[in-house]
């Protein structure tokens, strides 16, 4: 296929299957970077400066890089979250942003539930005792956990992932469900008997508080010292959203002083979590390395959806899951693209 039938140039970052790369290559010249490091960063930036499309996970794309990418029309992120991307500038430039919702919902809810189970039943702490040869007698009360079934589960942000977590709790574990959301969720209320609450009330009533809100200016440090103080001293906090939804120093303090009992955290203000973080060493914390969607099946589905989005956008059939299709379809506010 010659240049005439492949007018686009695409930069792909992150491991994609041969079939996915072939699908991209059918519509574009593809410059492929399995990962970006200090060794190939200049090559990546040079490729970006020529590109019409960019696809990848955890793309580090800031304002300065966008300014050096005048032809860019489509960014297809292999993630549902896009708080790491400069959306306002992309809107202004008429650059389409696509993400990968839906395909990771159930897997991320599985992760939330794994953290709920692990924090309530102290799975990691107690398994480590076995691994370390410290299981020498029947365990006593000091190592007992707390039931999951029947406890009240508070979902902060009952979007797709929050709703899927609530379903596991209500139908699998007989948990009363409370939730926060911008508007009522009649289906959750009808199917799960869930009740909508203001955040403060949910924090006070729930035995397990699970965060599944998107990260933005409104949710920055949503869970701060004041919010933590509202929770039950027996409660656990689980976070599969974004690290900065929690004021981490306040959480460390609350866990140390037993303002709350435990935390299960898959996301952190700084990732990877620095080894020096107190959260990495506390017995009442289960910390996982941002594995929300990290199964073979789901990461493959996310990559495929991101490829389909980019191919759809460039070929004219349209993206499947766009974040800002309106901004893309209206004329760009500034020059700097070739649309």
115 exposure class (CB count in 10 Å sphere: 0-12, 13-18, 19+): buried
Determine if 162 is a binding residue for ligand DGY (CB under 6 A): no
- Active-site pick, 52, 122, 290, 299: 290
Query: In the numeric block, which tokens belong to residue 189?
Result: 């209320």
Q: Which is nearer to ligand DGY, 120 or 298 (CB)?
A: 298
Q: Which of 242, 248, 261, 299 is catalytic?
A: 242
User: Do the bridges between strand 8-13 and strand 28-33 make them parallel or antiparallel, or are there none, so unpaired?
Assistant: parallel
Residue 290 is among the residues annotated as catalytic for this protein:
yes
Written as six digits, the tokens of 187 are: 């289906």
Packing angle of the helix pair 296-315, 18-25 (nearest 10 deg): 10
Give the footprint of ligand DGY on residues 82-121 (CB under 6 A): 104
Q: Which is nearer to ligand DGY, 205 or 266 (CB)?
A: 266
Smallest distance, ligand DGY to C-beta of residue 75, A = 14
Report angle CA 261, 263, 268 to the nearest 5 degrees: 150
The single residue among 80, 126, 161, 245 that binds ligand DGY, judged by CB under 6 A, is 80
Chosen residue from 105, 119, 165, 293 binding ligand DGY by CB under 6 A: 293
The count of residues interacting with ligand DGY (CB under 6 A) is 7
| Beta carbon of residue 292, minimum distance to ligand DGY (angstroms, whole number) | 5
Stretch touching ligand DGY by CB under 6 A, among 15-23, 73-81, 174-182, 215-223: 73-81
Nearest to 11 by CA among 21, 1, 26: 21
Distance from C-alpha of 106 to C-alpha of 73, rounded to nearest angstrom? 31
Quote the CA–CA distance of 154 and 134 in Å, as a whole number.
35
Q: Enumerate the H helices of the chain as residue ranges.
A: 18-25, 41-50, 63-67, 87-93, 105-121, 123-131, 160-167, 173, 186-192, 199-205, 225-230, 248-256, 296-315, 325-329
What does residue 7 show for φ and ψ, rounded to 5 degrees? -75, -10
State in angstroms the smallest separation of the CB of 9 from ligand DGY: 26
For residue 295, what are its two tokens? 């199964």
Instruction: With contacts defined by CB under 6 A, name the span among 204-212, 286-294, 307-315, 318-326 that binds ligand DGY.
Output: 286-294
User: Does 55 engage in binding with ligand DGY (CB under 6 A)?
Assistant: no
Interacting stretch for ligand DGY, rule CB under 6 A, among 78-86, 115-123, 127-135, 173-181? 78-86
100/120 with CB nearer ligand DGY: 100
State yes or no: residue 79 binds ligand DGY (CB under 6 A).
yes
Stretch that binds ligand DGY, among 67-75, 139-147, 161-169, 288-296 (CB under 6 A): 288-296
- Output the 3-class SS for 193-227: CCEECCHHHHHHHCCEEEECCCCCCCCCCCECHHH
Q: Which is nearer to ligand DGY, 13 or 104 (CB)?
A: 104
By beta-carbon proximity to ligand DGY, the closer residue of 170 and 302 is: 302
Supply the minimum distance, in Å, between the C-beta of residue 190 and ligand DGY: 29
Contact 270, 243 (CB under 8 A): yes
d(CA 164, CA 108): 9
| Site residues, ligand DGY (CB under 6 A) | 79-81, 104, 290, 292-293
Query: Which amino acids are annotated catalytic?
Result: 242, 271, 290
């Amino acid at each position: 296929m010659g240049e005439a039938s492949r007018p686009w140039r695409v930069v792909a970052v992150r491991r994609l299957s041969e079939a996915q790369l072939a699908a991209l290559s059918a519509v574009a010249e593809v410059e492929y970077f399995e990962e970006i490091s200090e060794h190939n960063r200049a090559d990546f930036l040079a490729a970006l400066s020529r590109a019409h499309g960019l696809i990848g996970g955890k793309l580090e794309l800031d304002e300065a890089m966008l300014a050096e990418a005048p032809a860019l029309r489509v960014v297809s992120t292999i993630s549902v979250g896009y708080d790491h991307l400069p959306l306002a500038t992309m809107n202004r430039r008429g650059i389409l942003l696509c993400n990968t919702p839906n395909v990771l919902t159930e897997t991320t809810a599985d992760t939330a539930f794994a953290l709920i189970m692990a924090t309530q039943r102290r799975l990691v702490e107690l398994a480590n005792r076995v691994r370390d040869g410290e299981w020498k007698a029947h365990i006593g009360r000091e190592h007992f956990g707390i039931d999951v079934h029947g406890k009240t589960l508070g979902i902060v942000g009952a979007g797709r992932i929050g709703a899927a977590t609530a379903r596991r709790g209500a139908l699998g574990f007989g948990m009363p469900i409370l939730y926060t959301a911008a508007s009522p969720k009649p289906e959750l209320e009808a199917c799960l008997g869930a009740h909508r609450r203001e955040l403060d009330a949910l924090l006070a009533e729930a035995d397990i508080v699970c965060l599944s809100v998107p990260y933005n200016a409104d949710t920055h440090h949503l869970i701060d010292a004041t919010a933590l103080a509202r929770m039950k001293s027996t409660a656990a906090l689980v976070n599969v959203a974004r690290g900065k939804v929690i004021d981490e120093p306040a959480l460390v303090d609350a866990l140390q002083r037993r303002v709350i009992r435990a935390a299960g955290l898959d996301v952190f203000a700084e990732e990877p979590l620095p080894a020096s973080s107190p959260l990495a060493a506390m017995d009442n914390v289960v910390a996982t390395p941002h594995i929300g969607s990290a199964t073979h099946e789901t990461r493959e589905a996310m990559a495929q959806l991101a490829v389909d989005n980019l191919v759809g956008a460039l070929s004219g059939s349209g993206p499947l899951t766009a974040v800002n299709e309106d901004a893309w379809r209206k004329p760009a506010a500034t020059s700097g693209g070739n649309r």
